[in-house]
Amino acid sequence: MSALCLIPDAQFEGPADVEASVAGERLEFAVARAGSLLSFDRAVLDRAEACALWQQAEVDGAVLDRMPNCRIIARCGTGFDRIDLSEAGRRGIPVCNVPDYGTCEVADHAMAMALALIRGLNVYDRNIRAERIQGWNYALAPLVSRTRKRLFAVVGLGRIGTAVARRAKAFDYDVAFFDPYVCDGMDIALGIERVNSLEALAERAEILSIHTPLRQETHHLVGADLMARMKASAIIVNTARGPCLDVDTALDFLANGRIGGLALDVLEAEPPQSASTMARALVSDDPRLRDRLLVSPHAAFYSPDARFEMRARAIETILAYLTDGSLRNCVNREFLVGGVQ
């Protein structure tokens, strides 16, 4: 009998055709879009041996109590902040992610958002559409600047942060990074500067691009204290996880001229709730918000190729473990109990 894999928060239309093409007869799939594993009935939960999760589903002890035969959890993506890693590990369940499927897409998106602001593309396009003659004015964009020898600051030098650093160098930025977990010598290998203090990096940054995972220590990593150190012209780019940036505070700093611009692909609540500070900012006529705020709908990861790879690699990870016990990109190895390697 094929093992059952649950997909509780699928963000694709129709059946799990990509997943089935990878698994063949080795897996069968139960697909839902309710966003919760508990949307499946008891018999399905009881039988399931694997889960492939997108962005919404949460996994904690109460959920795992309902899934006595679960052997592996795979994230279709990079973030795993909605999964209780220690609880899964205590039960001998590895949690794995797919960290490399969209590296190029996210890096391209981060650079595109930064460049759109410093070249005024959002402002020019909106003004020309609104008023063909009056809008034909290169002076309308407030953040236009030269890239050459300006400091592009990368916070987190993992796969994506490294890819962004390489792209920023290609645009002739001076590039510096902060990442206490990166081994010595990466600055030399990449030809960029290592800064040992996030505060010191923020003080110098023209553009500050966030590329950290979301953990307890990175929640609001970029907050009021750090933003207070930044130049009034500085642009913050976040394509990592929404809560890595204190968004409400960032909007307040932007509205009051204490930072220059915001480019956000991720928010603390997605999509923004109608009464939220972000929702109000998106419809504001205040030029400091209208012309200096750029938002995309958690789309940095996306291209058809990346989406296919993400889905396929999550299933390959599940199959590898169910077949021979091998683990790919396990993110809770430190918590695993029961002899899992």
Catalytic residues: 241, 270, 298
Please choose, from the candidates 108, 11, 113, 89, the residue with its C-alpha nearest in 3D space to the C-alpha of residue 55: 11
Whole-number Å distance between alpha carbons of 134 and 328: 56
DSSP tag of 183: P
Residue 67: closest CA among 77, 78, 81, 57: 57
For 314, phi then psi, to 5°, come to -60, -40
Contact at 8 Å (CB) between 198 and 155?
Answer: yes
**What are the residues facing 193 on neighbouring strands?**
176
Residue 46 is given by DSSP the state H
End-to-end Cα spacing for the chain: 26
C-alpha–C-alpha distance, residues 153 and 164, integer Å: 10
* CA gyration radius, the chain: 22
Residue 119, both tokens: 């070249």
Task: Establish how many alpha carbons lie within 13 A of residue 179's alpha carbon, considering only the half-sphere containing its beta carbon.
Answer: 27
CA angle 35, 340, 93 (to 5 degrees): 15
